[in-house]
Amino acid sequence: MNPSFTAVQNFSRRDVLKLFGATGGGLALGATGLSWSPMAMAQGEDARLNLFIAIGEDDKVYLTCHRSEMGQGIRTGIPQVLADELGADWNKVVVVQGLADKRYGSQNTDGSRSIRKGFDKMREMGAMARTMLEQAAADKWQVPLSEVSTANNLVIHTQSGEMMSFGELARAASQVPLPKVDTLILKSPNDFTHIGKSHKIVDMQAILTGEAKYGYDITLEGMRYASIIRPPVWGSEVKVLDDSKARKVAGVIDVIRLPAAKGAPGFQPLGGVAVIATNSWSALEGRKALNITWTDSINDTHNSEVFLKQLVEKVQSPGKIVRQQGEENSDWPKEKTIKAIYTIPYLAHAPMEPPVTTASVTDAGCELWASTQTPQSAAQNVAGYLGLKEEQVKVNVTLLGGGFGRKSKPDYCAEAALLSQQIKAPVKVCWSREDDIQNGYLHAISAQLYQAKLGDDKMPQAMLQRTGFPSIGSTFAEGADYPAGWEVDLGFVDVPLAVKSLRCETVEAKAHTRIGWMRSVCNIQHGFGIGSFVDELAVKADKPTTQMWRELLGESRQEMFVDQGFKYGNYGEELTRHPVDIERYHGVIDAVELGMKKGTQPKENQAWGFAVHRSFAAFVAVALLVEVDKDKKLTVLRAVAAIDAGTVVNPDRVKSQTEGAIMFGLSLAMMGEISFKEGKVQQSNFHDYPMLRMTQCPDIDVTVIASDAPPGGVGEPGVPPVAPSLTNAIFAASGIRIRDLPVTKKLTV
Amino acid sequence: MPDNELKLTINGKQFQLDADPNMPILWAVRDMLGLTGTKYGCGAGLCGACTIHIDGKPARACLTSLKQVQGKQVTTIEGLKADELINAWSEHKVPQCGYCQSGQLMSAAALLSQNRQPNESDIDAAMSGNICRCGTYTRIKAAILSVSAQEERS
C-alpha cells in the first residue's frame, strides 16, 4: 500500500496519483485501519488518550498537529477541531508538532487537504478523548455517561453540579477502554466553540519576537554548514573539479562531490559539489572559489522561447482526446469561430525560506530537522539513500518559511543525510536564493488553445480546448510526454460549461528540467485559459463577464461528467460529497458582483476584470480593478474575492490565505517568468524574478461564504482566477488583450 | 588579541568574535551568536528579511560586513523594543508563515522612530524593500497605520 519513494526506484503511476490524492479514497485519512489506530500510548508524565491528545495533570491539553505549518495556519486549525470536540479551554492548549509517523495517515501537506481530509477524523479523535474523560467521571460519580458533558477543560454532571478538571481525570481517563468510533456522539455544529472562530495562530508571539524556529534556524552541537553547487543543466554532472582554492578559504573543512541524479528525477539529489564549513559564510565563500567544468547534457539546447513557440504550434493540431461532451464538432466556419491561444512561462516557488534540512547520521540511524511539507516522504527518501529502514529515520518538522509545493519534494533532505553520513557530523544544507530559483522543480511552461463556434445569439454552440505542457509525470517516469489525466482534472476538463459540443485534447510536450507542482498546480494555466476565454466570449457577445459565466454554466445542477470519456478525479473526493455544484459558482459570482459595486468605482483608464474557478473542492471568484495609464503603466487598485470552501475552521485564516493567494497570483501574472537558454535558468534572485511588493498591492476585500458543506481546500483555490481577472481588467481598461504572461511583456508594473 | 578579534555591540550587549571582518553580520548573529530571528532571504539586499538597525537606522544584515558595524549599536529583532507595534501586528493577525516578519517589524519600527505618524505613502516608501511571499502587505500597512493613529490620539 505504501508508495516506495526510494531513490533508486521509479515511481509507479499509482504512487504519483497518491501524491496528489487522485486515487479516490486511497489517501483519505483512516482509509486503512492500521494507520489510524488511536492506541493509548505508554503512560508518562501525561496521560495520553489517543494519538493526537494527551492531558497533563496540570490540566494542560497537548494536541498534536501532524501536518506542516507553512503559513496556512494548520498548527492552529487542527488543534481547534480537536479542542472543540474535546471541550478544551483554548488557553490550556499546547500544540505538539508530530514527527513523521505512519500512524497519522498521510502527512503530505499539499493539495489543500489538511482540513478537507482531516476534519472528520480530527473530530472523531476529539470526541473519543472527550468520551474517555466523561466515562472516567461517570464511573467516579456513579452516574450514566449520557448525563456527563465537557466544557472549558471541565467534566460536568449538570444534575448534581459535580465537576472535575481534565487534569484531575486524566489518569483515570487514560485507563478507560477506547470507545468504538461508531459509538461516538459528535457535537452539533451549533455547539461549536472553537470551529468557526478566528483564533490567533498559536505561533504568533514566537514569530513576532524572532524566537520561532524555522528549518534555517536549527543549530546542533558540532554542526557543519554545507553549500552545494548543483549542475546548471538537468542531466549534466561534474566533469572536472578544482577545489584547491576553496579548501584554502578560512572556515572550509571539506569539499565533497555528490553523484548526479540518473533517470527520472524523482526526489533524487541533483548531485554537484558540496562545500562543508564551520559557518554559512565560509561555505558560501568556499563555493565561490570552486572551479568546475560540467559535462554536456541532452538538455543543453533547451531554449524556453523556442520551446514555447513549438508548444503554440502543437496546440493548433489535433491531440489526444481527454473529454468529449456531446457530438464532436468538425465544422468551424471562419466568420463564426473565435480562437485564442494563451501561454504561461515556467515559474518558481520562491518561498521566503529556501529549502533547508539539518541531518545527523549516527550508527543508530538518522535524525532530520527539516523544513518539509512531507516528513514521511523525507524519511522514505533518506532511508533509501542511507540503506536504513524508514523507522530508523526520525523526522522533526520545523516551521516552514513558506512552501507552495517546493517543500513536498525532499531531494534536499537526502542531500543533508548523505553529507552527514560522509563527514560523521551533523550537517545543515541551506539552499541559497539562487539555488532555489535555478535548481527547483518548476511549474511547467504551457500553451492552451480555446476555440468556440458562435451561434446567432453569440453564444458558443461548440468548443474546443487543447493544452500542452511538460507533465509532472516526467519527474517520476521517463517518457511521460503527455499531460496526465489527473493534471487535466485540474481546471481543464472539469469546467462544467453547458455547451452542446465540448472537446478537450492534450498535446505532447517533453520535459527538459525538473517539473513540479506549485500552489494550485495546473489550475494556474487552465484557470488562465478558461478565465480569459470566457471574457473574450463576453466581449464578443457584449455582456458582462459575470453574466457570460452564469449563462455558460447553465442551469443549477451537480455536474457528474457522465459519458464524457473520462473519470473525474475531483481531488480525491467523491462527487456526491464534493459536487461540482453550479449554485455554489453562482454564490461566489454574486458575492463578488456585490463587492464590486461597493467603494471606489472605475474612473478614466480604469476597469474591473472578473474570473471564477473551482479547484480543490472550493469555489473562488475574483474581481480586480486596474488602471492602465497612457504610458502603459499598470496599477492594481482593488481586489474583491469570494471563497466558498464549505465549512471553515478559522475564518480569518481562510481570509488570509485568499489574500495571500491573490498576491501570489498577481506576482506570477504580472512579473513571473523563468526562462532557459542553453539549458540553464536565466534568472537568479529577486531582481530578475520579482515578487509583488507593498507598493504594488491593491486593497483587498475577501468574503468567506457561510456554508455547512464538507470542508474544501483553502490554500490553493484562490490562485487560479487571479491571472485572468487581471488580464481581463487590463483589456477592459486599455483594449490591450494579454494572452501571454507575464504582463510585463506589454506593460510596466 | 588575534587579528580577527572583533568587538560588537548587539542588543546592548558586548561580544568579541574571532571572525573574518568581511563576513556579513547576518551570518555572525545567526551562526555564531545564535540570534536566528534575523533571516536569510536573498543574500543580496533585495528582500529585507534580514533587516536590522545600526545606530537606529534600518540596514540589510546580508550586505553589512562585521567591520562596518565596529563601534556601532546593532539591534536585531531579539532586542527590538516596540511593544505597541508588535501588539498591532498581533491584533491585525499579520503573519502567515512569519519568516519575513522580523524584517518587516524592523523596517516598520525604524520608520516609526523617524516619523510617528506615517501616512500610506510614507509606509509604502519605508516598507517596499521588504518582500512577503505570503502576501501580508495589506495587514502590515493596517497595523502600522493603527499605531500611527494611536499616536494621533495620545
Domain ranges of chain A: 13-201, 215-297+355-430, 304-348+441-745
Flag the least confident range among A13-17, A383-387, A543-547, A647-651: A13-17
**Any chain A CB within 8 A of the CB of B55?**
no
Cα separation, B88 vs B75, whole angstroms: 20
| Smallest CA–CA distance from A353 into chain B, residue | B41
Report CB contact under 8 Å: A207, B95: yes
**Interface with A, mutate which of B60, B134, B139 (most A CBs under 10 A):** B134
- The confidence score (pLDDT) of residue B60 equals 98
Mean pLDDT, rounded, for A99-110: 93
Contacts of A281 in chain B (CB under 8 A): 20, 23-24, 27-28, 31
Residue B18 to residue A278: CA distance in whole angstroms: 12
B positions 67-86 inside 8 Å of A (CB): 76-78, 80, 86
How much of chain A, in percent, has pLDDT values that exceed 70? 94
Residues A417-466 have pLDDT tens digits of: 999 999 999 999 999 999 999 999 999 999 999 999 999 999 999 999 99
Q: Is the pTM of this model over 0.90?
A: yes
Contact B46 A686 (CB under 8 A): yes
Is it the case that residue A251 has pLDDT exceeding 90? yes
What are the angstrom distances between the C-alpha of B105 and each of A495, B27, B47, B100, B102?
A: 43, 20, 13, 9, 5
pLDDT at A557: 97
> Which pLDDT does position B130 carry in this prediction?
98
CB–CB contact B96 A401 (8 Å): no
Contact A699 B99 (CB under 8 A): no
In 3D space, the residue among A50, A141, A142, A136 whose CA is nearest the CA of residue A96 turns out to be A50
CATH architecture group of domain A215-297+355-430: 2-Layer Sandwich (3.30)
Give me the helix-helix angle, A74-86 and A114-141, nearest 10°.
30
Q: Is the peptide bond before A579 cis (omega within 30 degrees of 0)?
A: no
Contact A209 B37 (CB under 8 A): yes
Torsions phi, psi for A612 (to 5 deg) = -135, 145
pLDDT at A600 over 90: no
Q: What DSSP string describes A182-202?
A: GG--PPPGGG-SSTT--PPPT
Three cell numbers at B110? Answer: 525604524
The partner residue sitting opposite B99, judged by closest CB among A402, A657, A691, is: A402
Mean pLDDT of the A7-20 span: 40
- A628: which strand partners? A634
- pLDDT for position A599: 81
Amino acid at A471: S
Report how far residue A499's alpha carbon sits from residue A587's, in angstroms, rounded to the nearest whole number.
21
Angle at the Cα of B31 (from A291 to A99), degrees rounded to 5?
100
Query: Is residue A516 a contact partner of residue A475, using CB atoms and an 8 Å limit?
Result: yes
CB A203 within 8 A of CB B94: no
d(CA A396, CA A727): 43
In sequence order, the 6+-apart residues with CB closer than 8 A to the CB of A741 are A343, A344, A345, A528, A668, A669, A672, A673, A723, A727
Tell me which chain A residues have a C-beta less than 8 angstroms from the C-beta of B142: none
Q: What was the pLDDT predicted at A287?
A: 98
In terms of Cα–Cα distance, which of A349, A369, A360 is closest to A409? A349
Min mean pLDDT across A26-30, A401-405, A697-701, A744-748 is at A26-30
Q: Given 1.10.1370.30, 3.40.720.10, 3.10.20.30, 3.10.450.40, which CATH number is that of B5-78?
A: 3.10.20.30
d(CA B48, nearest CA chain A) in Å:
10
Do the beta carbons of residue A639 and residue A662 sit within 8 Å?
A: yes
The pLDDT confidence band at residue B150, using thresholds 50, 70 and 90, is confident
Contacts of B90 in chain A (CB under 8 A): 200, 204-205, 208
| Nearest CA distance, A726 vs chain B (angstrom) | 17
Residue A40 has a pLDDT of: 35
Choosing among 1.10.150.120, 3.10.20.30, 3.40.50.1370, 3.40.50.720, the CATH entry for B80-153 is 1.10.150.120
At residue A444, the pLDDT reads: 98
Segment holding A59, helix H or strand E: none
pLDDT (mean) for A534-551: 98
Q: Which amino acid is at A310?
A: Q
Where along chain B do its domains lie?
5-78, 80-153
Q: How far apart are CA A399 and CA A76, in angstroms?
A: 13
pLDDT value at A4 more than 50: no
Q: Given this model, what pLDDT does residue A30 score?
A: 26
Q: Please state which of the four CATH numbers 3.30.365.10, 3.30.70.1230, 3.90.550.60, 2.60.40.1930 is assigned to the domain occupying A13-201.
A: 3.30.365.10
Specify the amino acid at residue A369.
Answer: W
Domain spanning A304-348+441-745, CATH class:
alpha beta
pLDDT recorded at residue B154: 65
Strands A680-681 and A676-677: antiparallel
Contact criterion met (CB < 8 Å) for A204 and B90: yes
Sign of CA dihedral A327, A331, A333, A339: positive
Over residues A126-185, the pLDDT tens digits come to 999 999 999 999 999 999 999 999 999 999 999 999 999 999 999 999 999 999 999 999
**Mean per-residue pLDDT for B123-130?**
98
* Distance linking the first and last C-alpha atoms of chain B: 51
pLDDT, residue B151, reads: 76
Rounded to a whole number of angstroms, the distance from the CA of B43 to the nearest CA of chain A is: 7
Residue in chain B nearest A432 by alpha carbon: B42
Distance from CA of A50 to the nearest CA of B (A): 29
pLDDT mean across residues, chain A:
93
- What type of residue is A509? A
Taking a C-beta distance cutoff of 8 angstroms, is the pair B65, B19 a contact?
Answer: no
B96/A657 touch (CB, cutoff 8 Å), yes or no: yes
